[in-house]
Amino acid sequence: MSLRTAVLIPCYNEEATVADVVAMARKALPDAAVYVYDNNSTDKTAELAARAGAIVRAVPQQGKGSVVRRMFADIDADIYVMTDGDMTYDLTAAPRLIDALVKGRKDMVVGTRRETEQAAYPLFHRFGNAFLTGLVRFLFGIRQTDMLSGLRVFSKRYVKTFSARSNGFEIETELNVFTAMNNLPFSEIETDYFARPAGSFRKLSTFKDGFKIAWMIARLIMSERPALFYGTLAFLSLAATFVLEFLMPDIAFPAGLWLFCGFWFFLFCAVLRDGQLKNRRETVRLAYLAQPFADGQD
């Protein structure tokens, strides 16, 4: 059985590079179908991608997360290779990533970035990625070194059970947390990372998108680790109650009473949401198991 491979390229105003990315994808993976999903580009991205041989589709809802959600829903394949349209990732490494996915029976393989030029990775982007990667590792326990890499390979069962919530660049954070919280096998392979060619401009804002990613991490703690989130609030409410009672007895009532009620409310939320989470993960697991792993063997 031959594996059907799809190359997914989300794009927004990448006319300077998209044709080269499509050409590199077709050369590295000659049997793969190459898709470019154009996200309201105002330049010739869609036209040049089609001329280079890609299957071009449009996504009107703005943001990379919106595009990924649409790509995962639309395309049926055994192996999915996702990369950016800015010519910064080395697609010649794609066969190695696919080989690691199939032979290692992984559900996600990430191409971690190895800089080939100093201009490839601005200082603030490097610091932000390191900080956010470390934060996600600490909170969710995933042993990953490059959380925001845009070069990834997925199995079909990963793609068809992943449910994206974000619309923007937070999507990589969601992919990593989904992997960690569902105990899905993944690995990393170091790949070259290049500076953007002349005429190509970054869409990621270090501070604006960094805050969005941090907010997404907070939302994911609430939804994926509710016992920790609500348990912490319950502990803080109870601690504040005792502080008021012993250190500020004059104002302990009714503030202390409200805090004590808050303790029981947050404790109830922790137990309730944790039970709901277990049911949701069981549903995801059943959907995951319904998609057999495609390894190219009869």
Question: Domain-by-domain residue ranges, the chain?
Answer: 5-222, 225-288
Q: Are strands 5-11 and 79-82 parallel, antiparallel or unpaired?
A: parallel
According to DSSP, the residues that pair with 87 across neighbouring strands are: none
Residue 62 confidence (pLDDT) above 70: yes
CB 219 within 8 A of CB 164: no
Q: Which two structure tokens, joined as six digits, stand for 35? A: 């898709």
Average model confidence (pLDDT) across the chain: 88
Mean pLDDT along residues 112-135: 72
CB 132 within 8 A of CB 68: no
CB-based burial label for 141 (10 Å; 0-12, 13-18, 19+)? exposed
pLDDT band at 158 (very low <50, low <70, confident <90, very high): very high
pTM: 0.86
Helix H or strand E encompassing 34: strand 33-38
pLDDT score, position 168 = 84
What percent of the chain is modeled with pLDDT above 70?
89
pLDDT score, position 57 = 97
Torsion sign, CA atoms 157, 175, 140, 101: positive
The contacts of residue 239 (CB under 8 Å, 6+ apart) are none
Residue 255 confidence (pLDDT) above 60: yes
CB 1 within 8 A of CB 13: no
CB 89 within 8 A of CB 15: no
Q: What is the CATH number of domain 5-222?
A: 3.90.550.10
pLDDT score, position 117 = 60
pLDDT score, position 298 = 45
What percent of the chain is modeled with pLDDT above 90?
61
Q: Which two structure tokens, joined as six digits, stand for 198? A: 């002349």
Mean pLDDT along residues 3-13: 95
